[in-house]
Structure 1
Amino acid sequence: MSANNSSDVVIGVDFGTLSGRAVVVRVSDGAELASAVHTFEHGVVSTALPGASSVVLPPDTALQIPEDYRAVLGNAVPKALAAAGVAPERVIGIGTDFTACTVLPTTADGTPLCELPEFADRPHAYPKLWKHHAAQREADDINALARERGETWLARYGGRISAEWEFAKGLQVLREDPEVYARADRWIEAADWIVWELCGRETRNVCTAGYKGIHQDGAWPSRDYLAALDPRFAGFAEDKIAHPLSQLGAPAGRLSARAAARTGLPEGITVAVGNVDAHVTAAAAQTVEPGRMLAVMGTSTCHVMNAATFAEVPGMCGAVLDGIVPGLWGYEAGQSGVGDIFGWLAEGFVPASYQREADDLGVSVHDLLSRKSADQPVGGHGLVALDWHSGNRSVLVDHHLSGVIAGLTLATRPEEVYRALVESTAFGTRTILDAFAASGVPVTEFTVAGGLKRNAFVLQIYADVLNRPLHVTDSDQAPALGSAIHAAVAAGAYPDIRAASAAMGGATRDAVLPDPGRAAAYDGLYAVYTELHDHFGRGGSDALHRLRAIRNQSLTR
C-alpha cells in the first residue's frame, strides 16, 4: 500500500435497476461511514414512453431515462457525504458501477439521443436496460452467422451471444429505426457514459467491452462479418463503439467542474474507470482469486469467477482476460430472473388472507411464505419449476423461454409454489456450476452478495441444493463498496485491486452450511429439473417458443 492519509475516503456509486446508491468508504480499512439511496423517478420504462407522446412500447422492451442516472449523482452522493459527516476535501476519488448490458445511443459529445427534441418520442433513442429482451431475433441471427462462418470469438461466450448484449441491441435499432441508428455517433454502455458525465471525456472499460461488446484478443467482430449481417451494420464496431480500452482500477480522468457542482465533491479528484455491478463486487467480497465464485443475488443473479486459464464453458456470458482483475480470465454466467420471480408470486398470486396474516404478524408476504414453507420436507410439495420467467441467460442463452411449474394439484398451496420457485433458481445455479465442472474449471468456493444474502430461507435452500457451504459478503452495499475499492486503487492508495480487496473487502466464511439429508434428497428433484430443462430448452419441445410467438403477435396486432 502506498502512503495515504488515514482520514482519506472514497465514494462508490452503484447504479441498479430501480435506484442508485452512494456509499462513503474509509480508504484505510474499507469501513462504510454512510450511504444514501436515490430511487429512479421513471424506474423501468416498459409500457409507454413518459411525457405527452405516450408512445406505446412493444413486448419485451425495457428502457430507462438518463436524467434518472444524473439525479443519483446530485442527490445520493451529497446526502451520503453529509450523513458521514465527512468534509468534501477528504474525498480522494469516486468509482461507479452499472447494470449491464445497459446501453444507449449518443451524439459525439455524449448527449443521449432521447434528450434531443426530434428523438424524444422514438423508443430506440433511449437507453436499453439489461433486461430489454426484444432483440432475441437479432441475437439468433448473430449466433447463426457466427457458427456458419466459424467465428473464433463465439467460443468465448459459451457458443451464444445474448439478446441482452450490445450487438444484438444495436442491430435491432438499425432494423427498426435506421434514422436513430444513423444519428448515433456513439453506442456506449451506461457504465462508461456515467464516467463521461463525471470527468467530461469518453472512456471504455475492458469489462463491458469484453463481456457485452464481443471484444476479444484486441479486436471487435470484423467489418466483413458485420456486413454479412446487414451491409448497413458493417461499420458498427469501428464507428460507434471502438475506443482505446482502459484497465479496471485505472483513473479515467478528473472530476469536472460541472460534476463537482452536481455532487458537492472537490473538482479534480480521481474518477475511476467504469465497471459492471457484479464484477466490481468481487473486490468487496474478496473473491478475486481463482476458483472463488461470487453470486450477486437480487432481482437477477450474476455469477463471476476468476481462473488462471481459459476453457470453453457452454452458455457463459463471457470469458474475458483482465475482465475482473488484470492478469486473470474472468468468467461470467447468470440468471435473468431470481428475486423478480419470488416477487412475481408474492405480489400478484397470493390470496388476500395471506396479506392480512402478514400484516397481523408485521412481516412481508415474502417472509410469511418463507415461514410457511421452511419446514416442508424436500419434495413434499410434489413440484418442480423452471426459473425462466425472464428467459434463460445461462446456460441456454435464450430469452424467449418462459417459466414452467410442473406438478400442480388442487391441494397445492401458495407457500409450496413459493418454495418450488426458490428451489428452481437454486437448481439453475447448480446447472451453471455443473457446466463449469464439466469444462474443467473448478469452483472451489461459493460466496453470496446482493439483497438476497439477507434471506436465510433462500440461502439455506441454496446451500442444500448445491451441497456446499456458502460464504456471505459482510457489506450490504457490496457493489458500491467494490466501486469505492476501485476508486482507491485509481487514486493511488493501493497498488492494485487484489491488495485493495484484501484491505477493504470482507466476507463471513461458512456462514450457511448444507444439511446432508436435505442435500441428498435434492438430488432427485434436481434430476427432474434437468429433464424438464433439457426437454423445453434443448429441443425436446418448442412449445415455449410457440407460446411466446403467439403472445407477441397478439399484442402487436
Structure 2
Amino acid sequence: MTESYVIGVDFGTESGRVLLVDVKTGQEIATHVTPYDNGVMDHSLPDGTLLGKDWALQDPNDYLQVLYRSIPEVLRSSSIRPEHIIGIGIDFTSSTILPLDQEGQPLCFNPKWKSNPHSWVKLWKHHAAQEEADIFTRVATDSGEGFIKRYGGKVSSEWLFPKAYQIMRESPEIYEATDLFIEACDWITYQLTNKLIRSSNTCEYKAFWSHDTGYPDSSFLRKIDQRLEAFLDTKMRGRVQPIGEKAGELSNKMAQRLGLLPGTAVAVGIIDAHASVPAVGAVNPGQMVMALGTSTCHMVTTDQEKVIEGICGLVKDGIIPGYYSYETGQVAVGDAFAWYVEHSTPEYITQEAKKKGNTTHELLEKKAAIYKPGESGILALDWWNGNRSVLVDANLTGMIIGLTISTKPEEIYRALLESTAFGTRKIIENFADAGIEVNEIFAAGGLPQRNKLLMQIYADVTNREIKIADSQQTTALGAAMYASVAAGKANGGYDNLIEAAKHMSRVKEVSYVPIPENVETYHEMYKLYLELHDYFGRERKDIMHTLKNHKVHLVGSIV
C-alpha cells in the first residue's frame, strides 16, 4: 500500500473536530477542534427570539466553519500533501435535521426566515416534538405498522419525522418553504460533493426507512395528517446509499476552499456514536460499544434479528455490513454531570478546585472516589433529559433519594455517576432477556478518557470488564475508517470495514476489571434502582409528567 491518509470529521454537540489518519496503521497524525460559535441554542436565537420548552437548535454555519477552519489546519500542522489524502468521512449527531430551500441552503440563512426558530437546525436533543412522536407511535401501533417493531414499539421525539411534523403543525409557512428535510450529515456531504445522497445509517435508525421495504407507505402518513401524504415524494427526495460507500467526490469549489484535491472520495455519512464501533474493532457479534459523552449511545452487533423493548433501532447492515446492529441509549450522561457542576455545586468546592489546580469535575471525582459503594446512602435516577432506553419517554425527569442535611456534594456527584451505570446495566439486561448476549464491552468518547472513577463504577455495576478506546477522537477515527473503505483498495484504502478495523482500530492495553466486593454491594443497590425505575417510569410516570408540566407553566409565566 502506498502512502495514504484519510480525514475523519466528527460533528459533536458543542464542537466539530477533524482528524488526519494514516490508513496503514490508524496512527493519528493531526487533529484540530473548532468550537461552534453559537453552540446549542436552547433559550433564544442569536437575535434574541425566545425558544419554547425542550428546544435545542444549532446554526448550520457553525458546521461549515469546522470544515473551513479545521481541515486546512490539520493539513498545515501535518505537512501531508493533498495528493496523499484519499478520502473524507463524516459522522454527525443524529437525528439532527435541517429544512432546506430549493438551492439546498438552510432556511435560517434567509433573512426572511431567520427569526423563526423552525428555520434553524433541530439538534438531536430537541425534544419539543414529543407530542408529535406520541402521535406517530399511537397511529403506527393501532395500524399494525411493521416498522415500529424495529424501534422497540415507540417513536422518539429525537427523530426526523416528529421534528418535521412539528414544523408543519406549528409553522406551516416554514414547512411550505422547505424544499427538503435532511439530516445534517447528509447536508455536509451534499456541500462537499454537490450530490444529494441520504445515508442508509441515518434513514434506517432515524427515519423509518428499510433497505428491504423503503419508507412506510404514504397511506400511513395520511393517517397521521392528510398534509403528510405527499411528504416522501416532495420533501424527502434523494437516493439512500449504504454506509461504507462513496457518496461522491470533492467538488472543485470545496477542494479549493479546503486545500484538498478535486475528486477526493467523500464517504456516506454516519451517526457519530456508530462510527466508534469499528474504531475500537468491535466488528463481531456480542460486542457492545458505549459512546459516552453528553449522552450515551449503546451499540451491539449480532447475527440475530429480534424484537426488543425500548431499542432505538434494529438495522441490518446498519453499522457493520453483514450483521444486525442494535442501538439503545441514555439521553443525559455527561450533560447530567455538567448540570450538577455548573448549577448545583457549592462555591466552596469551586474555590477549592481552583486552589488545587483542578477542574471542579476533577476535584469531585477525587472526593467521590474515597467513598465505597452505598456509603453515602444516596440513589439517583438518570433521567435528567428524559429516558431513551428502555422506557422511551422524554417527559421523565431526574431524581435523587436519600439526601440528608449531612450530604456532601461529592456524594451527590457519585450518585449521579452510579445512576448512569445502573441505566446501562438495565439496557444490557434488557438485551439478555431477549436472548442477545453482550460478551464484551468497549467504552469510547471523552468521559472514559477523563473519569477513571466513572469507568470503575461501570465495571462494578455491570460486573464486566470495560475496555477503553485508545483515542481522544474515537468517532472521528471511525469516520476516517469509513473514508478508507469509500476510497477503495485500488486507491490506497480497504475493500471493507472489517479489513479496515484490523489495521486502524485502537484499544488501550489497560482495562477496568470488576472489584468483587463492589459488585456485591452494587447488586443490592441496583435492585433498589429497579424499584424506582419501574415505579416512576411505568406505574406512576404521571408524577414526573405532571411536575414537568407545572415547571413549564411557571417558566412561561415568568417570561
TM norm structure 1: 0.97
In structure 2, give the amino acid aligned to 1:407.
G
Contiguous gaps of at least 5 residues in structure 2: none
Where does residue 466 of structure 1 map in the other structure?
462
Classify the secondary structure of the residue corresponding to 1:436. Answer: helix
What's the Cα RMSD here?
Answer: 1.1
Q: Is the 8 A contact 2:196 2:239 kept in 1?
A: no
Where does residue 9 of structure 1 map in the other structure?
5
Where does residue 484 of structure 2 map in the other structure?
488
Q: Is the 8 A contact 1:470 1:510 kept in 2?
A: no
Matches within 5 A, 1:268-279: 268-279=263-274
Classify the secondary structure of the residue corresponding to 1:22. Answer: strand
Q: Is the 8 A contact 1:469 1:510 kept in 2?
A: no
Percentage of pairs with the same residue: 44
Matches within 5 A, 1:420-439: 420-439=415-434
Task: Spell out, residue by residue over 1:22-51, the C-alpha distance to the aligned partner (whole angstroms, 9 max, x if none).
Answer: 011011111100100000000001111113
Matches within 5 A, 1:94-113: 94-113=88-107
Classify the secondary structure of the residue corresponding to 1:508. Answer: coil
Rounded to whole Å, the distance in 2 between the matches of 1:526 and 1:437 is 16
Matched, 1:169 2:150: no
Classify the secondary structure of the residue corresponding to 1:480. Answer: helix
Where does residue 528 of structure 1 map in the other structure?
528
Classify the secondary structure of the residue corresponding to 2:335. Answer: helix
Rounded to whole Å, the distance in 1 between the matches of 2:504 and 2:366 is 35
In structure 2, give the amino acid aligned to 1:78.
P
Matched, 1:553 2:553: yes
Counterpart of 1:282 (choices 277, 293, 304) is 277
Rounded to whole Å, the distance in 1 between the matches of 2:13 and 2:527 is 33
Task: Spell out, residue by residue over 1:47-94, the C-alpha distance to the aligned partner (whole angstroms, 9 max, x if none).
Answer: 11113xx21110110001111000000001111111112122211111
Rounded to whole Å, the distance in 2 between the matches of 1:240 and 1:322 is 26
Contiguous gaps of at least 5 residues in structure 1: none
Rounded to whole Å, the distance in 2 between the matches of 1:402 and 1:58 is 18
Rounded to whole Å, the distance in 2 between the matches of 1:112 and 1:205 is 19
Matched, 1:93 2:87: yes
Matched, 1:414 2:415: no
Tell me how far 1:556 sits from its aligned partner. Answer: 3.5
User: Do the aligned partners of residues 541 and 187 (structure 1) sit closer, same or farther apart at CA in structure 2, a change above 3 Å counting?
Assistant: closer
Tell me how far 1:237 sits from its aligned partner. Answer: 2.5
Tell me how far 1:541 sits from its aligned partner. Answer: 4.1
Tell me how far 1:510 sits from its aligned partner. Answer: 6.0
Counterpart of 2:152 (choices 145, 152, 158) is 158
Classify the secondary structure of the residue corresponding to 2:147. Answer: helix
Matched, 1:28 2:15: no
Give the count of matched residue pairs: 551
User: Do the aligned partners of residues 409 and 136 (structure 1) sit closer, same or farther apart at CA in structure 2, a change above 3 Å counting?
Assistant: same
Rounded to whole Å, the distance in 1 between the matches of 2:231 and 2:428 is 35
Tell me how far 1:265 sits from its aligned partner. Answer: 1.1
Q: Is the 8 A contact 1:22 1:76 kept in 2?
A: yes
Classify the secondary structure of the residue corresponding to 1:334. Answer: strand
Task: Spell out, residue by residue over 1:382-437, the C-alpha distance to the aligned partner (whole angstroms, 9 max, x if none).
Answer: 11101111111111111111101011111111100000000000001001001100
Q: Is the 8 A contact 1:306 1:329 kept in 2?
A: yes
Where does residue 231 of structure 1 map in the other structure?
226
Where does residue 245 of structure 1 map in the other structure?
240
Q: Is the 8 A contact 1:192 1:205 kept in 2?
A: yes
In structure 1, give the amino acid aligned to 2:411.
E
Q: Is the 8 A contact 1:206 1:322 kept in 2?
A: no
In structure 1, give the amino acid aligned to 2:464.
R
Q: Is the 8 A contact 2:290 2:444 kept in 1?
A: yes
Matched, 1:81 2:71: no
Q: Is the 8 A contact 1:284 1:481 kept in 2?
A: yes
In structure 2, give the amino acid aligned to 1:500.
A
Where does residue 340 of structure 1 map in the other structure?
335
